[in-house]
Chain A
């Protein structure tokens, strides 16, 4: 590219003999500087409002730092020692992981089931797809308000229904596990359909002739699902889990609004880590410790991410290579050093040679191309 782009200026022998004119110099400058000018806004802004605050969080965590009084004395790692011995911190971590598991595992199972049902030759395809995506457009705040009402202990819809079947009222707010279930339900309701569509995309990319030959060999629909569909969509499932992890470990809105007068319940029974961070910073006004919590949570998320990445790499290499080989999702079109975290994000739609229910122009697209042309 460099040579081709420079050709008008440098490739011309006449131009090389004499000193370049002002116009040519300008052109060379344009070619050389433009790329940096185009990427500069991103890097400058991202450094300023993304990376710098994150790094500075660590600095703050080394000080006594008060919300209003500001920077106090340097305390080294004392904040870390105190937070790591703080049972509320561990409690918040337990709650976060518990809610995360309660929202990720059922969600993945149900989303896969929905995707499998949708992956058929349906009438009114777009309607059904839109109907499962409907919760996604309800904002987390509205979701929290609606479900807080439905899970009400006294007059909630769910307890009313349970009561009319003779079941005892469940203490959805005041007991630990029920409150976790209630919050996980909010997350599940909003995200299941969304993830089902991602998984559906992966399912549709499975070549149909594999199903045909399996059917000829006598494999029933369930056998085909477990032996063909599931292994093929595994990379996409890992992607769904990873995004769910990064988001789920930072859950705040739902537990905050489940009981807005407290920071995660009267006995902190559903106080998540970000909620504890918020309480530490803006109620107890201890920025030093809040920054420590933020930094620890950051490390935990990175750790989760790395573990996920290692697992997914192992699965990707020992599992069937077929589903990845077609994938132009590696950012250089090959499996490179780029983290596997992002590969399925873009590559969840490899070209599907035998997908004949789609218009043909969709199939020539490579995975990274969102096309509105396809229209569904």
Chain B
């Protein structure tokens, strides 16, 4: 804070002793940004929120609202009717349950295996460690999603198509997760802590459990959050291996638009309903999400 203040104070002092009032209000006085900044931020906010607000408006009216020359600005009273339509068209609760289950399993698996491997790479010495770590890094840049055809054949041979398992299997581990945990743990656990645990006679796994896991918790939370988001938003793979009777939320949602006649008020009501769970997550964990992104988590 002081650094900025000093910088700006000097800058302002160079130009004139006292900036005029209008100028100060628009551009800020150095301590605080002015109206221009907040105006821009408000514009960004509108651009972010308006499409969602638009789907709330249309989702709570009927298709006729789309024909109006001047678009309506506020929701109508048709939301629950449209929600009923959504329930009639797609198995919403089943899809929601499936999505929660799939994303949950993937998240737990990725976090557990990444923490184990990340810990080994960060804190244990073993033959071939560096070479294997390079392999992990190299695989991060490989688009494994392009292996969908053999994967699909695999699932069909195993008879898993249509089952949740088929969706979960391909993403049980990620190279990024291992790399992320390794980067975190390498600095955060002092070697002495592991040594003293070992001196006290703790086995390797109990050292992991009592030393590494508590230290890794913040990183595990962030990795979990992003893994969950990625699994939740996935569309192509569940579309291939699941059928319309047993969908994820994403594939079910896409069904709303698939008919010959598309009732957009229903489609957008569905979009709003599918967004609500993540909106709750966003309100609860938004700060963690932001800090995770700013600390360099990558998008899935």
Interface residues of A (CB under 8 A from B): 1-2, 4-5, 7-8, 27, 30-32, 34-36, 38-39, 41-43, 45-46, 49-57, 59-60, 114, 117-118, 120-123, 126, 128-150, 152, 155-157, 160-161, 163-164, 189, 191, 193-194, 197-198, 200-201, 208-209, 211-212, 215-216, 218, 243, 246-247, 250, 252-253, 256-257, 260-261, 274, 278, 281-282, 287, 290-291, 294-295, 297-298, 301-302, 305, 328-329, 331, 337-339, 341-342, 344-349, 354-357, 366-376
The smallest beta-carbon distance between A220 and chain B, in angstroms, is 8
Q: B7: nearest residue on chain A (CB-CB)?
A: A212
The 10 closest A-B pairs by CB, nearest first: A53-B147, A368-B183, A34-B204, A370-B295, A201-B294, A35-B126, A155-B66, A56-B150, A38-B120, A53-B150
Assess whether A50 is in contact with B139, with CB atoms less than 8 Å apart: yes
Assess whether A247 is in contact with B299, with CB atoms less than 8 Å apart: yes
Instruction: From A148, A163, A371, give the contact of B291 (CB < 8 A).
Output: A371
Q: How many angstroms between the C-alpha atoms of A189 and B54 in the bound complex?
A: 14
Instruction: From B136, B173, B282, give the contact of A45 (CB < 8 A).
Output: B173
Hey, what's the 0/1 contact readout for B246-269 against A, CB within 8 Å counting as 1?
000111011011101000100110
Known contacts A139-B274, A145-B268, A369-B187, A189 near B51 by CB under 8 Å: yes
Residues in A whose Cβ lies below 8 Å from that of B278: 137-139
Q: How many angstroms between the C-alpha atoms of A200 and B296 in the bound complex?
A: 11
Hey, what's the 0/1 contact readout for B124-157 against A, CB within 8 Å counting as 1?
1110010011101111111111111111111000
Interface residues of B (CB under 8 A from A): 1-8, 10-11, 14, 28, 31-33, 37, 40-41, 44-45, 47-49, 51-52, 54-55, 58, 66-71, 113-114, 116-117, 119-121, 123-126, 129, 132-134, 136-154, 169-173, 175, 178-180, 182-184, 186-188, 191, 194-195, 198-199, 201, 203-205, 208, 218-219, 221-222, 229, 232-233, 235-236, 240, 249-251, 253-254, 256-258, 260, 264, 267-268, 270-271, 274-275, 278-279, 281-282, 286-299
Assess whether B296 is in contact with A367, with CB atoms less than 8 Å apart: yes
Residues in A whose Cβ lies below 8 Å from that of B175: 42, 46, 50
